[in-house]
Amino acid sequence: MSKKIFALVDCNSFYCSCERLFRPDLKSTAIGVLSNNDGCFVSRTPELKKLGVKTGDPYFKVKDLCKKNNVAVFSANFSLYTNLSDRVMKTLATFAPRIEVYSVDEAFLDLTGFNPDELVEYSREIKRIVERDTGIPVSVGVGYTKTLAKLANNLAKKSKKAGGVVCLLNDKHTEAALERTQIGDVWGIGRASESKLKAIGIHNAKDFKEYKNSKNILKLLTKVGLQTKEELEGNIRLNLEIVPIKKKEIMCSRTFGTPVFDMKVLRESISNYITNTAEKLRKQDSSCSKIEIFARTSPYKDVPQHFAFEQVILSGDSSNTLKMISYAFSAVEKLFKEGYEFKKAGVKLTNIVNDTEGQLSLLDENDSPRTRSLMKTIDLINKINGPGTIKSAACGVNDKAWSMSRNFKSPRYVTGYTELPKVT
């Protein structure tokens, strides 16, 4: 029986690479992508990292530095990133019989049965084809466990000599890689765990692997930390998750770009959040029976403070956006108060079950086969033409009163016909 082999393919500075794909003039320019409301940096190119800007740095603190060095700054454009992520994952699926989409920019491939001596070249072929077909640069790490593949990928990104590919399939290379990897850079080791391990003399991945007292690791880092140690030893503790685990809760919350004082505007924001969460609910073939809604003022501003929370129980499990919005309106009327400066609101769907297990309401036409077909049709149209192409009138026709600040947002290059790149 062949020994299992895993590959981790990770897109380099993914959000920035997506922006750069349609802006070839920025090929060598430092690029940064900001979080919601243009708050903090969530993605950086190597050029921006060299300027000392870190992930999580607030933009306003390094604004002058960015202007001085001609940094290209973008607001997050998630519809663009999701579209390009789908293209990358579809391309990767042609290289392995089994694939786990781990995140928007990472995927594990099962390369079991491949000749280990040929996997360096095969990984380079994966890298070449993905970049050719999608325009997104990637790094590839290969190992006998998912943790070792992740570690190999980190080295592939950092080493110019590696050329974006590192395979840890022999003891000599693996030992050298473990010694070079600081304990805080090991997948699954957070800051708190890093401090605990350093306190007992573990400073790199090799120290961790060779540490003899597994009971002490279990005590310090629980079962998860011990699994990481065993994965570094080459023992598989994490298998590929081919079928995505369905979410038990789905949430959407946003900080408003400008304060909201009007109930109509607050209703529009909640309607949009329900539209977002209901679509995710249908995507995983689920329905729910409870919606939780909140709205609050800014705790960081010297204004009268107010936090309001309401929950509504649906008449039967449902994923119908229109029904959920109508139920939410009564909750908004209860939580809204005149005179308060609302700065954030959100929606959470709970009591989620599979569609096949949901209990329908016999008296509610909103859950009929006809309305479920309508929701699927709307989802398909929005997938093809871009988010929000079709939505309830309750969502409003102009979201500027409550939407996030996105002053540096790029066009919808691949999800909006009106914003396609123009060739002159």
Let me know if residue 405 belongs to a domain: no
Task: Tally Cβ neighbours within 10 Å of residue 251.
Answer: 15
What pLDDT was estimated at residue 114? 95
Let me know if residue 284 belongs to a domain: yes
Let me know if residue 24 belongs to a domain: yes
Let me know if residue 357 belongs to a domain: yes
Rounded distance, CA 329 to CA 137, Å? Answer: 45
Q: Are 165 and 290 members of one domain?
A: no
Rounded distance, CA 107 to CA 333, Å? Answer: 44
Q: Are 137 and 266 members of one domain?
A: no
Q: Are 75 and 123 members of one domain?
A: yes
Q: Are 197 and 162 members of one domain?
A: no
Rounded distance, CA 138 to CA 130, Å? Answer: 8
Alpha-helical regions (H) of 112-241: 119-134, 146-158, 171-180, 191-199, 205-210, 214-232
Q: Are 296 and 372 members of one domain?
A: yes
Residue with tokens 């994966």: 126
Residue 331: give its domain's CATH number: 3.30.1490.100
What pLDDT was estimated at residue 257? 84
Are 320 and 373 in contact by the 8 Å Cβ rule? The answer is no
What pLDDT was estimated at residue 300? 87
What pLDDT was estimated at residue 212? 95
Q: Are 148 and 5 members of one domain?
A: yes
Q: Of the candidates 160, 180, 200, which is a domain's last residue?
A: 180
What pLDDT was estimated at residue 403? 75
Let me know if residue 407 belongs to a domain: no
What pLDDT was estimated at residue 357? 83
Q: Are 199 and 163 members of one domain?
A: no
Let me know if residue 264 belongs to a domain: yes
Q: Which two tokens stand for residue 49?
A: 């990292």
Q: Are 202 and 312 members of one domain?
A: no
Q: Are 255 and 164 members of one domain?
A: no
CA-CA distances (angstroms) from residue 52 to 70, 148, 158, 160, 380?
14, 29, 16, 20, 43
Residue 140: give its domain's CATH number: 3.30.70.270
Q: Are 53 and 33 members of one domain?
A: yes
- The pLDDT profile of the chain, 424 residues, written as one tens digit per residue, is 679 999 999 999 999 999 999 999 999 999 999 998 899 999 999 999 999 999 999 999 999 999 999 999 999 999 899 999 999 999 999 999 999 999 999 999 999 999 999 999 999 999 999 999 999 999 999 999 999 999 999 999 999 899 999 999 999 999 999 999 999 999 999 999 999 999 999 999 999 999 999 999 999 999 999 999 999 999 999 999 887 889 999 999 998 988 999 999 999 999 999 999 999 999 999 999 999 999 999 998 999 999 999 999 998 899 999 999 999 999 999 999 999 999 999 999 999 999 888 776 666 666 778 888 999 999 999 888 778 889 999 998 766 666 778 889 999 888 776 777 777 7
Work out how many domains the chain is built from and give that number.
3
Let me know if residue 415 belongs to a domain: no
Q: Which two tokens stand for residue 104?
A: 């928007």
Query: Domain residues for 100?
Result: 1-180
Residues forming a β-bridge with 297? 342
8 Cβ contact list (under 8 Å, min separation 6)? 102, 106, 107, 108, 109, 140, 141, 142, 146, 149, 150, 152, 153
What pLDDT was estimated at residue 399? 61
Q: Of the candidates 245, 271, 293, which is a domain's last residue?
A: 245
Q: Of the candidates 135, 157, 180, which is a domain's last residue?
A: 180
Rounded distance, CA 324 to CA 329, Å? Answer: 9
Let me know if residue 330 belongs to a domain: yes
Q: Are 10 and 149 members of one domain?
A: yes
What pLDDT was estimated at residue 42? 97
What pLDDT was estimated at residue 290? 97
Q: Are 28 and 175 members of one domain?
A: yes
